[in-house]
Structure 1
Amino acid sequence: MDTNAVGLEDGTAGDSTPGNLTHAWLGDVFPDVPLSKAQSRVVDVIGRNPQLSSYADIAEIAQRADVNNSTVVRAAQHLGYRGWPDLQRELRSRYLVMISTEDTLTEHGEHRSPLHDAINHDIENLRLTLDSNTADDAEAAIAAMAAAKSITVVGLGSFAGPASVMAHLGSTMGYPITLENRGGVHLASSTNTLGPGDVLVVINMWRSIRQIIVTAEAAKQAGATVIAISDMRRGRLAAAADHLLVVASEGISFFQSVTGANSLVYGLLAGMEAAHPERSRTAIRRTQQLWKDLDIYLD
């Protein structure tokens, strides 16, 4: 599989926009903004080389575009990203959607030690997740949930994991929060009353799930606040979100990692507790008493 074979003529003209240089796999990664000649070459290299641009270091991109590393960084920032790592995380997310699940195994190759490789890769995922979100991004999402009449958290498949953590621990500290992890008619029924004052939290990485995207768009149209936790900074879910938190989700096998999403959720929960400390502690004390009354734990 040659994922880099695009087969277009080289383009070096200036005063271009990404729209006339890029390819279908990129979707809306690049906004339609004017580009200098050097920036156009960077975008052209990215568009023609999905695999390379998703995994190569900045020096190789710069060499192919006949620019220096700083130009690649400035091009990424001009296109709305914090820098090359932020843009490359977005490119890699799109690339992994483009190839098949089986091809993902080929892409990741063999492991020296699955355990150590997975942990080391997640350390990098956590670093990228940290770099992709500002304190203000997180505080704005926390404030929205702290003020909400109700919170519905949606996540399907593997991504129901962090959604379940958020709903369970949020309920433990007294938040009016529920989990929807089933989709279909259940998703419709659990979100059909969302409106002003309500919050919908959507956790979706890798391939966009149509039901979830449409639900987020409908909730936003009805006046609810939408918080999205995603590995893509652009796209329909990002467009529907009032607050977007970006996570790195690439795993070492055919599946995505939710480590970044889980850590982000833990941070949001800590902020939610701090937003209502007395209510949270009262609810936690009552929960602990119920544990005893229900004889849940051995000790």
Structure 2
Amino acid sequence: MNDGAVRTGGRVLDLFQGARLTPTQRRIAHSLVQHGASAAYLSAAEVAELAGVSQPSVTRFAMALGYAGYPALRRELRSLADVPASPPETGENETQRALRAESRHLERMADDLGDLGAVEQAAALLAGSRPLPVLGLRAAAPLAGYFGYFAAKVLPDVRVLDGGGTTLLDRLDQARAAGATALLAIVLPRYPREALDALREARELGMAVVAITDSAVSPAAESADVALPAPVGTQLVFDLHTGPMAMAMVLLQAVCDAAPEPVQRRLEEFEATAARRHIFEA
């Protein structure tokens, strides 16, 4: 999406923040966000086809948001699409514009984190899980490894699940058998099917699911007990994941805050071990 489409998608997403949506309604919302301004000019039947749902589902979705019906919601979407975009930064190249868009994403995340309730709820679930499996496939695999590397300094058994295939569900089974009560899943566009299947399997196994994903209406949010939205940058050839990486560290900070004494003890043990083994130069 171009910068204007990203801004429009963000405005549309604001309509759904805090709404309690069914899985079907999440699919509708996700389609509207993904298609930005163009979605504001679609009929209810066209939106239904886009989201793969029935036309009455689109009407019920609009009413769940407090509108009299889909036409009223469409008028609101059109008004958002017609809001003038901020003037482009003159003299800046594509790379600069992409990085400035990331700055706006982080500012928006900071505003949303004025209420830390969801982060603290997620941290409480993860802090009590022994072991703690951390799932991230394809584009999300490096972020799962990043979180897992630091989490292992403060938690006794962190298991990074960054490979798909037939063994992924086996590793979930093994984590559950070892006592895991929660799963952290980082699921980013284009939403690997294996990752979504793994979230559903974790729920079937009785594990709570915390998902870091790009929006509150992503497919991963459907299977999550707590979803932590962190937008991705879309202005370069490949996505920028500054937001999800920042959210991962915010969540880990909250995990540490949930159990400060054992965390401090493990950090001190790690530092002593690192000094004895001369792991770092400085």
- Paired residues of 1:227 and 1:242 also in contact (CA < 8 A): yes
Equivalent of 1:60, from 62, 82, 89? 82
Give the equivalent residue in structure 2 for 1:25.
Answer: 50
**Under a length normalisation based on structure 2, what TM-score does the superposition of the two structures give?**
0.70
User: Cα offset for 1:131?
Assistant: 4.6
SS in structure 1 opposite 2:61?
coil
Amino acid at match of 1:285: E
- Paired residues of 1:128 and 1:248 also in contact (CA < 8 A): no
Give the equivalent residue in structure 2 for 1:149.
Answer: 130
SS in structure 1 opposite 2:256?
helix
User: Cα offset for 1:249?
Assistant: 0.6
Amino acid at match of 1:198: T
Post-superposition CA distance 1:222-253 (Å, at most 9, x none): 10011111113235421211111111112321
Distance 1:177 1:246 in 2: 23
- Paired residues of 1:21 and 1:43 also in contact (CA < 8 A): no
Consecutive unaligned residues of structure 1, counting only runs of 5 or more, are 12-17, 47-52, 64-110
Distance 1:219 1:123 in 2: 34
- Paired residues of 1:194 and 1:222 also in contact (CA < 8 A): no
Amino acid at match of 1:188: L
- Paired residues of 1:21 and 1:44 also in contact (CA < 8 A): no
User: Cα offset for 1:119?
Assistant: 2.4
Cα 1:185–1:132, aligned 2, differ >3 Å: closer, same or farther? farther
Equivalent of 2:68, from 22, 33, 36? 36
Cα 1:59–1:237, aligned 2, differ >3 Å: closer, same or farther? closer
Task: Please give the residue correspondences for 1:60-209 in structure 2 after superposition, counting only pairs within 5 Å.
Answer: 60=82, 112-132=92-112, 134-195=115-176, 197-209=180-192
Distance 1:165 1:215 in 2: 20
- Paired residues of 2:62 and 2:73 also in contact (CA < 8 A): no
Q: Is residue 251 from structure 1 mapped to residue 234 from structure 2 by the alignment? A: yes
- Paired residues of 2:211 and 2:226 also in contact (CA < 8 A): yes
Task: Please give the residue correspondences for 1:225-244 in structure 2 after superposition, counting only pairs within 5 Å.
Answer: 225-234=208-217, 236-244=219-227
- Paired residues of 1:228 and 1:244 also in contact (CA < 8 A): yes
Distance 2:122 2:52 in 1: 26
Consecutive unaligned residues of structure 2, counting only runs of 5 or more, are 1-34, 85-90
Post-superposition CA distance 1:246-298 (Å, at most 9, x none): 11112321211211111111111111111111211111111112222322222
Distance 2:193 2:81 in 1: 37
User: Cα offset for 1:129?
Assistant: 3.0
Cα RMSD (Å)? 3.2
SS in structure 2 opposite 1:188?
helix
Farther-moved stretch of structure 1 (28-37 vs 154-163): 28-37
Equivalent of 1:292, from 263, 270, 275? 275
Amino acid at match of 2:71: S
Post-superposition CA distance 1:88-132 (Å, at most 9, x none): xxxxxxxxxxxxxxxxxxxxxxx9335432321111111333455
Distance 1:152 1:199 in 2: 7
Distance 1:281 1:123 in 2: 32
- Paired residues of 2:98 and 2:233 also in contact (CA < 8 A): no
- Paired residues of 2:134 and 2:183 also in contact (CA < 8 A): yes
- Paired residues of 1:172 and 1:283 also in contact (CA < 8 A): yes
- Paired residues of 1:132 and 1:246 also in contact (CA < 8 A): no
Cα 1:198–1:131, aligned 2, differ >3 Å: closer, same or farther? same
SS in structure 2 opposite 1:208?
coil
- Paired residues of 2:151 and 2:158 also in contact (CA < 8 A): yes
Amino acid at match of 1:58: L
Distance 1:23 1:210 in 2: 22
